[in-house]
Structure 1
């Protein structure tokens, strides 16, 4: 539900139409993120646009640069260290693609060759496979299947927020998906060492804070990778209704929850708009409504 692309700024700086298309094509809300070959992505795009000769009014330039800033914040991921002797963009792109397994490079550079390289100037003919990603997917309610559906997003996560008012660490149908999600997070490119679980108390069903702490310590803690931290926050029940998995890049809503089920029912997983993701991420990053101190466990 999320794909990575390396994008050559020269491929979209040919004219204003290409520039407009680039600004609207990319973004996590469209399921497309950009792999940056340096930690100066936003400035490099600005410089490329300024040097392109594209005539922009003051208002157009401001909107363009605001969109670049937004993309840099939500939809750009760093490729990591690239050998300093690779100074040409083409060589750096090839290296990153091979090392990281990036699906496609968007460029018109002839020296890139034909292997998973796509010319942005002629997408009627040169278009990457699965370019158009649906925002909804269905998955069997099995831990591995649900984790695989959002695998790319988890592996790019620097932090994860798991929201479910019914989360019950005493039940294997909740612990097994949590383990699968965490496995994908820790195997990713980003050194993510922490996730948050947001839920509510239900004392009538054995989910008081005391019991939640007990099951987190006795059942979840032994399964955590060494050094990996989970904070469980308890919220007022009236403030949590839906089930989400949220990162700083992308968010998903799980229609029937992210716990396993033994029946044949599938779960609908919807990629949130950026506005919805940002709203929910900010909501659940605010400790104000939290009831008491969090329950914290760290793998050993």
Structure 2
């Protein structure tokens, strides 16, 4: 559901109106993310604007918008050779791991996936995105739909009131294992995957959850990863705990039927969430939340299989 775009800093920064129009078309809720190529992409945009003579008042706007666009410009672990120009870097990376498109000035277009800033509209096939779709409820299909947003995010909250690692309570484990397998292909990251579920008197204790969870997923966690399991209850007269999400620092996805891999004959609706909405939902499951009540100890499972109650 999310596509990676290489955007030439010179092409977006040389004109304020072009910058304003393009930056507003990106974000996880739009289905488009700008690849951080190079690592200091924002500085390159500002430099291009200054070299083009953009007025100071517009420069201030560009700087402020870039500061507020951290969820739009994302590190996809791309290599960058500072001795080569931007388009050569983009083409090399595109050959190794294709972008959805390379946005650059028309005279620099050098492949069929290149497009100019003026072409960036939903009418263009390379810019058209899907923000809602049905996903077949197999572990592989669900994990594939979640891979991009979880791989490039620093923080991941999986919210499903019925999430359960026990095989008799749905096939959530298969989805989690499949997602971890994909994330393991993206080395050099470190993050917590926090899983939030609804408390129930039939659920195992935190001690049993730590023991069984470590045996089930401990050896599958990529280096630097950890899983944290949290139980929550509804407050009387408060919000119902029913909806399912995957929420991150970049945005989120609302998931209709849940994350259990119940088979190829079923599907779940996946819908990208507005960035601010996703952050508001994340706050419901943060420390000190006043929306739901955290129950008992949480469980932390590290990549070496060790566990901790906290």
Same fold (TM over 0.5): yes
2:188 and 2:21 map into 1 onto residues whose CA distance is 29
Say what the alpha-carbon RMSD is for the aligned residues. Answer: 2.8
Structure 2: unaligned runs, 5 residues or longer = 305-310
Deviations along 1:115-173, one digit per CA (max 9) or x if unpaired, are 321122345899452x2222211011111111122332233233321111211111260
What's 1:249 paired with?
250
Partner of 2:92: 95
Q: Are 1:232 and 2:229 matched, yes or no?
A: yes
User: More helix by proportion, 1 or 2?
Assistant: 1
1 CA distance for matches of 2:257 and 2:192?
Answer: 25
Distance in 1, matches of 2:68 and 2:152, equals 17
Number of residue-to-residue matches in the alignment: 294
Shift of 1:102: 1.9
Deviations 1:175-211 (A, max 9, x none): 00111122222223661343111123211x3344344
Q: Quick check: 28-37 or 105-114, which moved more?
A: 105-114
**1:18-29 matched pairs, under 5 angstroms:** 18-29=18-29
Counterpart in the other structure of 2:81: 83
Q: Residue in 1 aligned with 2:308?
A: none
- For 1:284, what is the secondary structure of its paired residue? coil
Once residues 80 and 114 of structure 2 are traced to their aligned partners in structure 1, the CA distance between those partners, rounded to angstroms, is 19
- TM-score with structure 1 length normalisation? 0.85
- Bigger drift between 222-231 and 253-262 goes to 222-231
8 Å CA contact 2:106–2:115 kept in 1: the answer is: no
CA–CA distance in structure 2, aligned partners of residues 94 and 226 of structure 1 = 30
- Cα contact 1:135–1:270 (8 A) shared by 2: yes
> How much does 1:43 deviate?
2.5
Structure 2: how far apart are the matches of 1:265 and 1:29? 25
Q: Choose the corresponding residue for 1:156, options 152, 157, 164.
A: 152
CA drift of 1:271 comes to: 0.6
How far 1:55 sits from its partner (Å)? 4.5
> What residue number does 1:31 align with?
31
- Distance in 1 between residues matched to 2:3 and 2:187, nearest whole Å: 14
Tell me the equivalent position of 2:134. 138
Paired with 1:100 and 1:134, the residues of 2 have a C-alpha distance of: 21
- Note if 1:165 corresponds to 2:169: no
In the other structure, the counterpart of 1:202 is 200
Q: Name segments (4+ residues, structure 1) moved above 6 Å.
A: none
Is contact 1:27–1:74 with CA below 8 Å preserved after alignment? yes
**Aligned 8 A contact 2:13 2:46 in 1:** no
Cα distance in 2 for residues equivalent to 1:113 and 1:228: 39
1:147 aligns with 2:147: no
TM-score, normalised relative to structure 2: 0.82
Deviations 1:62-102 (A, max 9, x none): 4443221122x21212344423432x222222233233332
Contact 1:160/1:196 (8 A) holds in 2:
yes
Aligned partner of 1:175 in structure 2 is: 173
Gaps of 5+ in 1: none
- Who is 2:269 aligned against? 268
> CA distance change for structure 1 residues 122 and 209 in 2, over 3 Å: closer, same or farther?
closer
| Structure 1 or 2: more strand by fraction | 2
Separation in structure 2 between the aligned mates of residue 189 and residue 100 of structure 1, nearest angstrom: 15
What's the CA shift for 1:109?
5.3
| Alpha-carbon distance in structure 1 between the residues aligned to 2:205 and 2:200 | 6
Conserved 8 A contact 1:194-1:230: yes
> CA distance change for structure 1 residues 52 and 136 in 2, over 3 Å: closer, same or farther?
same
Local SS of the residue matching 2:35 = strand
SS in 2 for 1:25: coil
Q: Give the conservation status (yes or no) of the 8 Å contact 1:116–1:128.
A: no
Quick one: distance in 2 between partners of 1:235 and 1:123?
Answer: 43
